[in-house]
Amino acid sequence: MTTDMWAFESAAQQDGFHFIAGIDEAGRGPLAGPVVSAAVILPASFNLDGVDDSKRLTPKKREALFGEIYGRATSVGVGVVGPNRIDEINILQASLQSMAMAVACLKPRPDCLLIDGIFKIDSKLPQTPITKGDSRSVSIAAASIIAKVTRDNMMAHYHCRYPEYGFAKHKGYPTKAHKAAIREYGYTPIHRRSFKGVKEYVT
């Protein structure tokens, strides 16, 4: 891990903040399953090689880091918004809602938020959106790993319920195999009926 990954956290500390939470989500693009967000507060002593944007890591590496982050973090919070709610309020609003839920789970309460992306969440806490934050902030990178592994594990569970869709492999993303399964079997209760690739089959 480079010292640059601590730049945003260090700047927040210099501004007087103590409990700085990094926030990220997983699952905006899939046709099925929830959107999952994580919020992570790391201690200043945290030093774990390999923490990076979860998309850059292998599943095996993510799983290993997942346990280490949970074991070493000051606090970890997770927020989950399901497909029905996604259809009601749209995926952007659902993602922001899941982020706010994750923050609400943190103890101690954070006094500053670093958020992956360009949008703020519904919170009175000081917050800084950071474009590509999952590759620029260690706290956001840790949150991206927690969110991704949590969601992947949920999709593996759904695979046991709906094995013909192959959720364990594609995690609900719009792969050729997934779209073919929707054409053949229709959609399930965990599919996002407002998404292109599913809504065409909703009667």
Write the DSSP assignment of 121-137 as a string of letters. Answer: -S-SS-EEEETTGGGT-
Per-residue pLDDT band for 3 (boundaries 50, 70, 90) equals low
The tens digit of pLDDT for each residue in 8-24 reads 999 999 999 999 999 99
Ranges assigned E (strand) in 14-169? 20-26, 35-41, 75-81, 112-116, 127-130
The tens digit of pLDDT for each residue in 93-119 reads 999 999 999 999 999 999 999 999 999
Query: Rounded distance, CA 44 to CA 74, Å?
Result: 10
Decide: 73 and 142 in contact? Cβ < 8 Å: yes
176: which 2 tokens? Answer: 């050729």
Domains defined for the chain, CATH in brackets: 3-161 (3.30.420.10)
Per-residue pLDDT band for 155 (boundaries 50, 70, 90) equals very high
